[in-house]
Amino acid sequence: MRKALTAVVVLAAGGAASAFLVNRGDTSQATNQAAQALPVNTTKVTQQTLKDTETEDGQLGFGTTSSAVSRIAGTVTAVPDSGQELRRGNTVYSIDNKPTILLYGALPAYRKLSIGAEGNDVLQLEQNLKAMGYTGFTVDDEYTDATAEAVEEWQDDLGLDETGVVELGSVLFAPGHIRIDSVQGQEGTPLGPNQPVLSYTGTTRAVTVQLDAADQRLAVMGAAVTVALPDGKTVPGRIEKVSTVIIPAESPDKDPETKVEVIVAIANQKAVAAWSSAATDVTFTASERKNVLTVPVAALVALREGGFGVEVTDGTTSHYAPVKTGLFASGQVEVSGTGIKAGTTVGIPK
């Protein structure tokens, strides 16, 4: 007589699980019992693409906010309006009637630039001078006499003293066009060094999502997501930035929270042009398995000898077949095993 096969039938609902034993032997009595105990509820093994998705709250806006701080002490004499867009060569703000000019570049301004200076900030400056139409110098990382002459010409056009020197605080480097988010230093406000004047963003609309640290698996750079807009339409997006942020505690008896901030780029800007700010739903795909065999999770049984199985039936007999499980998603589970193919009928325990 062969060893009996014992299976524990796993029932899962709402995250809870329960189990009961099913014993099957090799005797005729066991066979008759098995025939009488054919599963009442059945389903078919299907072949499909299985996606592990999760939907999170998002905020449509203009992406990450940056702060512009005064590098010198003085009085704020000019600031833009919130929502105003600025381009290369525009004045961002003025302290003591000395303007801070927007230039493009990834490296922040951190020092005075004058003849003899070398570095990427010099290269950025010269690239901007050339883009604004100034000539007579070589675009490289060296601040030469020719660079100083171009700077003097630029200063003359701005109505400034022609020093040929770019003082710290006279330029603001940003990746591109900026949009003023809010203004902290109103006209007439005295400011000390390193005090915030205003905050700004890019001009391209994007969606910001703050994930719990436990959901960091969703934040994959370059991954495609789907954004549901307030009008019910959806638009594709792509993760362009992932960072960790600390959310301050709301009260002394609570701890700060660690969040994973995700910036989602929207290629179709026309689709989101109607909103400057809006709540959205963002659907992330953590993993995807194409053209795999699946059954409902409820069809799985836990085998006493280890692993999982399914109860395969042809309507008159049934047997437990071991399966290897893969991705679990949307109430389905990826399975594979001997004799398991699309269309196979399996039982779903009560």
Q: Which residues contact 35 (CB under 8 A, 6 or more apart)?
A: 316, 317
CA proximity to 128, closest of 106, 104, 150, 110: 104
Q: How far is CA 348 from each of CA 41, 65, 345, rounded to the nearest angstrom?
A: 5, 52, 10
Q: What pLDDT is recorded for position 19?
A: 38
Distance CA 279, CA 230 (A): 7
Q: What pLDDT is recorded for position 95?
A: 97
Q: What pLDDT is recorded for position 5?
A: 43
> Domain locations in the chain?
5-50+288-348, 54-62+204-287, 69-200
CB 259 within 8 A of CB 247: yes
Q: What pLDDT is recorded for position 3?
A: 37
Q: What is the pTM of this model?
A: 0.71
- For the chain, 350 residues long, give each residue's pLDDT as a single digit of tens: 333 344 444 444 333 333 334 443 433 333 334 444 788 899 999 999 999 899 999 999 999 999 999 999 999 999 999 999 999 999 999 999 999 999 999 999 999 999 999 999 999 999 999 999 999 999 999 999 999 999 999 999 999 999 999 999 999 999 999 999 999 999 999 999 999 999 999 999 999 999 999 999 999 999 999 999 999 999 999 999 999 999 888 888 888 999 999 999 999 999 999 999 999 999 999 889 999 999 999 999 999 889 999 999 998 899 999 999 999 998 999 999 999 999 999 999 87
Q: Parallel, antiparallel, or unpaired for β 178-183 and 196-201?
A: antiparallel
Q: What pLDDT is recorded for position 138?
A: 98
Q: What pLDDT is recorded for position 109?
A: 97
Tokens for 196, please give them.
Answer: 């915030």
Q: What pLDDT is recorded for position 233?
A: 96
CB 211 within 8 A of CB 242: no
Distance CA 79, CA 99 (A): 10
Tell which CATH classification among 3.40.50.1820, 2.40.30.170, 3.40.50.2000, 3.30.230.10 matches the domain 54-62+204-287.
Answer: 2.40.30.170
CATH number of 69-200: 1.10.101.10
- CA end-to-end distance (rounded Å), the chain: 30
Q: What pLDDT is recorded for position 235?
A: 98
5-50+288-348, which class in CATH? mainly beta
